[in-house]
Chain A
């Protein structure tokens, strides 16, 4: 199942909570304010590195650009809306709001 997270992890616990429910192999996609989670060298970088051992992690490029985030945690892939659609082609979606 594709998990999307749209909240800044600094303001909301949706990333922290959702990560308890991820299944191995589930892709994680950060969108909207969620993308602040993947900025390189923030306090979530270590958590993300752990998650990346079992789950592919993506961030929506247009949302990164909009927020001036150019460096992202190693292993996280930036994708566009087409990439978002491709993930949806392969997975049911669990949109954490």
Chain B
């Protein structure tokens, strides 16, 4: 099954980014394809490589980068939401892409599921 994920909340402040990641990991393990994780609202803050949590904490940006590099999951941040919040190509995690809501619409159309995580 092909699955898209819409993540509407930033990292750490809310558990949404963690649940979305754990879900994606479990879905991939079961043989599903995660087509894309699309960041919206404060979710775009997931896309910054400037993130630098303490060593003993999970590194949420690295999780997304790894999903992209190892499993071909597109990691996408909405351009309008990103611009509002100071996220641009200069701070974007490797393998991530800043894109438009039209791309989210395509993801919604072509996948069997689009699952929202947020606050």
Contacts and interface: CB of A to CB of B under 8 A. Distances in A.
Interface stretch (A19-27, A38-46, A51-59, A78-86): A78-86
A93 B23 contact: no
B113 A88 contact: yes
A67 to B, nearest CB: 11
Nearest 8 pairs of A and B residues by beta carbon? A81-B26, A95-B116, A97-B118, A32-B15, A85-B27, A93-B115, A85-B26, A81-B22
The interface residues of chain A, by DSSP majority, are classed as helix
A47 B19 CA distance: 26
For chain B, which range describes its interface: under 10, 10 to 19, 20 to 34, or 35 or more residues?
A: 20 to 34
B8 interface: yes
Given A88-B27, A89-B1, A62 B22 contact: yes
A88 B3 contact: yes
